[in-house]
Amino acid sequence: MARPENRSEARALSLTLPIETFNYLALLATLGKLGRTENEVAAHILVRETYAMLERGFHETRIPAPDDEGKPGG
């Protein structure tokens, strides 16, 4: 499972999820996919996606201002 290299550097985070999302995390945990609990599964997915976004330079993505009609990319 993807975790910070030094667990002492980990920080707690609390999330509120749609019930469908939580139920899917519960299913994955029940099947032993990505972790044993909903929290472990969620942490694995969040860490994996965060590293992928960092690698892709997501934080450097610019969203164009809307045009006069309010449509993006004007």
Specify the pLDDT at position 8. 63
Residue 35 resides in a domain: yes
Residue 73 resides in a domain: no
Number of separate domains in the chain: 1
Residue 39 resides in a domain: yes
Residue 50 resides in a domain: yes
Task: Read off the pLDDT of residues 4-36 as tens digits, 9 standing for 90 and up.
Answer: 555 568 899 999 999 999 999 999 999 999 999
Range of the domain at 36: 17-54
Residue 12 resides in a domain: no
* pTM, rounded to two decimals: 0.70
Residue 69 resides in a domain: no
**Where does residue 32 fall: left (phi above 0), alpha (psi -120 to 50 degrees), or beta otherwise?**
left
Residue 74 resides in a domain: no
Residue 44 resides in a domain: yes
Specify the pLDDT at position 45. 97
